[in-house]
Structure 1
Amino acid sequence: MAAVAAVLFDPAAAAALLEIPDAELGRLFKIRLMQIAGLSTVLDPDGDLSRRPSRPAWNKVKRGSERGKSARHVLVAKGKLLHLTDFLAASGISEHRLAKDVAARRLFSVQIGRDACYPAFFLVDELDRKALAKVSRRLGNVAGWRKWKFFTTPKTTLGNSTPLQALMRGDAKQVLRSAAAFADK
């Protein structure tokens, strides 16, 4: 379907894509898929535009339960959380830089078993990355899964939007206030 859309939308661009070596095209395609998965987390944190559950998807995650494990793995399967190698490839940063950003709390990871996974929303071009980093820092020592909960849960103080959606609208100051209140709980 993507190939048909490319040809119909812009035949010259489709021809240019054919000139890219297969491995490079595949790599670029995967990176773009990871970025789109991050955007889908911003636009639709529950992952289903047609049906709104009474509780957000993260709320079904219970530590140590089979249900929680599968819910967390679903977030990886949907590309909303990325394993280290995928996150590094899509972000274009080094492992050393990632470690510095995590240590400075500019971004965070969540644990799934022994693996650290990184939210794909950190790859979204439509978000102000400096504002996103400030909010992540403002959350301080809050555990990764609680940070995930903060970013993906609608807040009445943000007009029933998630902090990610509010950041996309440019409401960084309000999201920072909300993050400070959340971190103090």
Structure 2
Amino acid sequence: MLELLQSAAVAATLFDPVGARALFEIPAAELGRRFKRALVRVAGLATVLDIEQRSIREESAQRRQELASNRGEPTPARLVASAKLLHKSHFCAAIGFTPQRVNKEIAAQRLFTVDIEDERYLPAFFLVEQIRRKDLAKVVRTLGDLAGWDKWSFFTTPNCALDSLTPLQALFYGDRKQVLRAAVEFTKR
């Protein structure tokens, strides 16, 4: 864990030395909250852009082989470990909503959850600022009463009607109408 924080400090210093020094002016607790928010937003963006997050340093050839054999459908545990799915409490903290507000958004079909071992998780892609929240909400409503995992699959699977982009990628590029059409087709299956 300490190595990870050191790497983040090196990256911040190399990327923007003046900005890195300005971080000293922010109280430690607030800096921690902001850093955590930034981490989950980046994980959400990685989901949108379909970037596989791996450590730069791979421990051994065995670990690389394990990763290669698991390149198929990601498991729920891997989605949580890579912060592509966030526990509801962490999602609330990252988005700045109360649990009641998140429940209201879920009930109104503007957000959706997936269940893992009787716990509710929300996709980190809801935190991606480059995708309009209203567009995401409209697509979630279009998907209606489908199970959360089916909605996850819709958003993260390349779609031939979207030139083989995932619906998340198409929304990222601003193609809301095509994604809505694809969602309607998806619900008919």
CA distance in 2, matches of 1:80, 1:5: 22
CA distance in 1, matches of 2:13, 2:53: 29
Question: Is 1:56–1:153's contact at 8 Å kept on the other side of the alignment?
Answer: no
Q: Name the stretch that deviates more: 12-21 or 117-126.
A: 12-21
What secondary structure sits across from 2:120 in the alignment?
strand
Match of residue 62 from structure 2: none
Match of residue 172 from structure 1: 176
Aligned counterpart in structure 2 of residue 92 of structure 1, from 86, 91, 96: 96
CA distance in 2, matches of 1:8, 1:151: 35
Letter in 1 for 2:152: W
**TM score, norm. by length of structure 2:** 0.84
Aligned counterpart in structure 1 of residue 18 of structure 2, from 12, 20, 27: 12
CA apart distance, 1:137: 0.5
Q: Does residue 80 of the first structure (1) align with residue 80 of the second (2)?
A: no
**TM score, norm. by length of structure 1:** 0.86
Aligned-residue identity in percent: 54
CA distance in 1, matches of 2:68, 2:129: 26
CA distance in 2, matches of 1:45, 1:97: 30
Aligned counterpart in structure 2 of residue 181 of structure 1, from 180, 185, 189: 185
CA apart distance, 1:170: 0.7
RMSD: 2.1
Question: Is 1:46–1:56's contact at 8 Å kept on the other side of the alignment?
Answer: no
CA apart distance, 1:11: 2.5
Q: Does residue 155 of the first structure (1) align with residue 155 of the second (2)?
A: no
What secondary structure sits across from 1:57 in the alignment?
coil
Per-residue CA deviations over 1:78-114 (Å, capped at 9, x if unaligned) read 0000001110010011111111110011110000011
CA apart distance, 1:18: 1.0
The answer for unaligned runs of 5 or more in structure 1 is: 59-70
CA apart distance, 1:56: 5.2
CA distance in 1, matches of 2:97, 2:72: 31
The answer for unaligned runs of 5 or more in structure 2 is: 1-6, 55-66
CA distance in 1, matches of 2:12, 2:80: 27
